[in-house]
A and B are shown apart, each in its own frame.
Chain A
Amino acid sequence: MTVTADLAQQTADALWDAVVVGDDHAAGHVVRRALDDGLDPESVLLDVIGGVQRKVGAEWAADRLTVAQEHAATAINERVIAQLSATVHYPRPHRARIAVACVDGEWHALPARLLAEVLALRGFRVDYLGAQIPTPHLITHLHTTGPEAVALSGSLAPRLPTAHATITACQAAGTPVLVGGSAFGPGGRYARRLGADLWAPDARTAADLLARGAPLRRQDAHQPIDDLPHLADQEYTLVARSGRRLVRSVHAGLDRAGHGTGHTPEDLAHIVDYLCTALYLDDTSLLTGYLTWTADILAVRGVRTAFLVPALDLLATELRDFPRATRLLHEARAAITRTTPDTEPGPDA
């Protein structure tokens, strides 16, 4: 066990070295050698390639990789997976048919790709639909092929409303949905709220859950609003519709108050996106979690985070007619001033 773990760790380190300099030849060689040394393909996929991919994310957060370099690293990992799937023996499919897809608008396709390979290695019949698949295509695929379940991957919380629409659409087509990925929150708390049939913290658990037998097919009529009755107040709809206008007015407001430098309109747009998602799920921690995280990310990049609290205040003024949004912003402001004290505007601001 530890021998395997050691080998996996050494291989992951070697793969990282190859990936970070963009040497796909060396990357392929590292993985081939690990397979020859007897490392099991599932471990190569999840511990080695998955491990490197997690490190790519961490290095980006620490501002040691750019987004473009992240894509370059991912492209090499994709090639390594393609090479692995061409060399490793896959069993004849003898288990259920599973469709693997990303939430539409999701750009982190690799976790879904890894799950697809792991499921195929375990003998499932897998249709990997990848990222950027619009929900109508996914549903047509379900009707055409009739899989036992859909595995839906999402890493970006702002895509959760889209994920919800996709989950209910799959279920309405009689297909249960397993979800996974960091978008679904700690312990999969949003997976349950969005009515997913199953949640898995990682690819191994997902494969185990699916191997345990097809989940119960739901036959009850299930409407999206049943999961989230608070949506009846229309706050999400109205705030999401005026999202870009909100960004413009907060941007202008910050300029007037002298907080206009450092951050970008994109930073404000992200905050509004997370606010909308928090409204959709009625969950303050989603907004505070993002604000705390983004304060760290900006701080690492030398961006002054003093604009965060004034931005929240400007949003609260704009949205004063929306009680739920007002409460969310109030709670988020309190949380962020508690956890990241330097977000308070300093005397020179």
Chain B
Amino acid sequence: MVETEHAVRQDVPADTGWRGAPYPGVVVAGEAVSAVNAAAERLLPGVVPGRPLREGSAWLADAHGAFTAGARGPVSGRIGERSFEAHPAAHADGSVTWWLVDSTDVDLAREQLRVERERTALLSKVSSALLTSLNPDRCRQLTAQLAADHLADAALVIAPGSGREFPVTRCTRGGTPVHDRLAIEPEEVTGLAEALQGFPPVPSRWIDPGSAPDWLVTEEFGEIGSIVITPLPGHGVPAGALVLLRRSRHQAYTEDEEVFARLFAARAGSAMSAARLFAAQASITEILTRDLLPPVLRRVDGVEFAGRYRAASDTERVGGDFYDVHPVGVEGDDLLAVLGDVCGKGLEAAVMTGKVRGVVQALLPMSDDHSRVLSLLNDALLSRHSTRFVTLVLASVARSTAGVRLRLTSGGHLPPLVVRANGVVEEVPTTGTLIGVLSDITSTTAEVVLAPGETCLLYTDGITEAVGGPLGGEMFGEERLRTVLASCAGMPAEAVAEHVHMVAAEWIGDGGHDDIALLAVTAPRGQHLTAVGGHGRGRYTT
């Protein structure tokens, strides 16, 4: 900035440099012009020595007035097509020399920089907004909203539909996106059918608003000047089409808008196709693993069941442990509970649990004969040439006047524990060979009667072999499990399962663990609530 308040007064007429200086210079005394150099004469023909400055340039006269009144700082104004910065130099006699510097190109560069920065910031905002979600609805919503706010006065996002129905999200500028499913004919709109197919690539198409079908035009929007259909590139997956509605009748983008619109469509298309792929994969995973998830245990009249399950890996919902409770027989009076552990963890073990559970379910008609069920299951697993084996416990559950009668058989699994009403914990004396390794297996069955308030707990080694504890590196072990169980005398099955799981999980802390499964079978105390979870069959699921 030129701030030469006490510049030495040049002897204007005698100074050769003044007249030919490359910058326009105007000397002003009072309100009148006292001298003008050659550059200023060319630039400002109306500024004439002896005449008031205002006659030649109003903004410069304003700047001069402000400067003599004490204002400081750069002043700028336009002369013809160009913009100038005016720098004052005050002299001792009170007159002021105004030097004018052409700032047109600098201003232009600054403006371009600002626009470019804004566009970059917007693109980065758009990208991070679109990156947040893998939900197709949310992606359409964000795309419609961002497009309405930055590209048009209103926007519609049309996703590839199934059959006649198309998910459509519309948004007007500053508004909230609205979802809809519309039965539309894409052929009605020029370029829409091709855009929805996603291939071959088609350019954006400007269409006549008069030819647009009603569903495309929102009532509250008012008159539409122009409509453009832009395909969203989906990279192998159709991602849908973006329809922009504008009030302007001008059927084209400016060069800047064109660049931005193309980048926007590319990002929105990637986000939407990623979301579509994720949704498809999530639904496949959901369907394939549905049968591998632990069942929701319904309340059964006269016996309580409660299960707990946690897979070893936080990213998986299924693992190598499993449990089931099946009604048995025509009447379904009796039940078969199963809890087991396939060696290994993760999805491969989970797939194996699905097979084992399927075989056990198929063998339900003979479930009274535990050793036969185990030996048939053993044959089935051996014939698969799989190196995986399984350990499990079968428990036939029947109600009796004394309480709940259990017949338990272990196939190489940890023996179940029973907690009596007085807090005594007993191990169920059943042993057997693990399943899927040897061709001949043996097992012994044990019988237990649970009086009201007593619980039989089936569990996997994920509990007893849990490593952790307050001091670290210690195994949870059966002794601790027995102590915990002793405190659960008289409790409902849900509370027993929750309590045992909690104590074991706290033991583990933030450390890693194996798959964990628990199944509590409890003879309830006294009467029960009815009408809970009434989706199942018969009187056992009231």
Contact = CB atoms under 8 A, between A and B. Distances in A.
A76 interface: yes
Nearest to A109: B498
Given A68-B488, A72-B495, A75-B495, A265 B526 contact: no
B469 A265 contact: yes
Given A86-B531, A145-B135, 7 more contacts: A25-B529, A72-B495, A82-B529, A143-B279, A174-B135, A174-B138, A219-B128
Contact of A134 (B314, B488, B495, B526): B314
Nearest to A248: B471
A66 B487 contact: yes
Nearest to A266: B470
A78 B314 CA distance: 26
B472 A68 contact: no
User: Which residue, of A71, A146, A173, has the highest number of chain B Cβ atoms within 10 A?
Assistant: A71
B282 interface: yes
Contact of A173 (B132, B469, B494, B527): B132
A72 B492 contact: yes
A145 B279 CA distance: 9
Contacts of A75: 491-492, 494-495, 498
B476 to A, nearest CB: 13
Contacts of A228: none
User: Which residue, of B279, B532, B533, has the highest number of chain A Cβ atoms within 10 A?
Assistant: B532
A268 B470 contact: yes
Nearest to B283: A144
B398 to A, nearest CB: 23
B499 interface: yes
Nearest to A78: B494
A294 interface: no
A345 to B, nearest CB: 22
A292 interface: no
Interface residues of A, number: 52
Nearest to A269: B470
User: Which residue, of B135, B279, B534, has the highest number of chain A Cβ atoms within 10 A?
Assistant: B135
Contact of B472 (A78, A132, A137, A245): A245
B529 A174 contact: no
Interface in B485-512: 487-488, 490-492, 494-496, 498-499, 502, 505
B495 A25 contact: no
A266 B134 CA distance: 42
Contact of B278 (A135, A137, A143): A143
B135 A22 contact: no
Contact of A68 (B473, B491, B525, B533): B491
Given A22-B490, A25-B529, A67 B499 contact: yes
Nearest to A144: B282
Interface string B450-494: 000000000000000000011111000000000000011011101
A237 interface: no
Interface string B118-150: 000000010011001111011000100000000
Contact of A146 (B128, B133, B532, B534): B133
User: Which 8 pairs from chain A and chain B are nearest by CB?
Assistant: A244-B472, A174-B132, A269-B470, A134-B314, A265-B470, A75-B495, A146-B135, A25-B527
B6 interface: no
Nearest to A68: B487
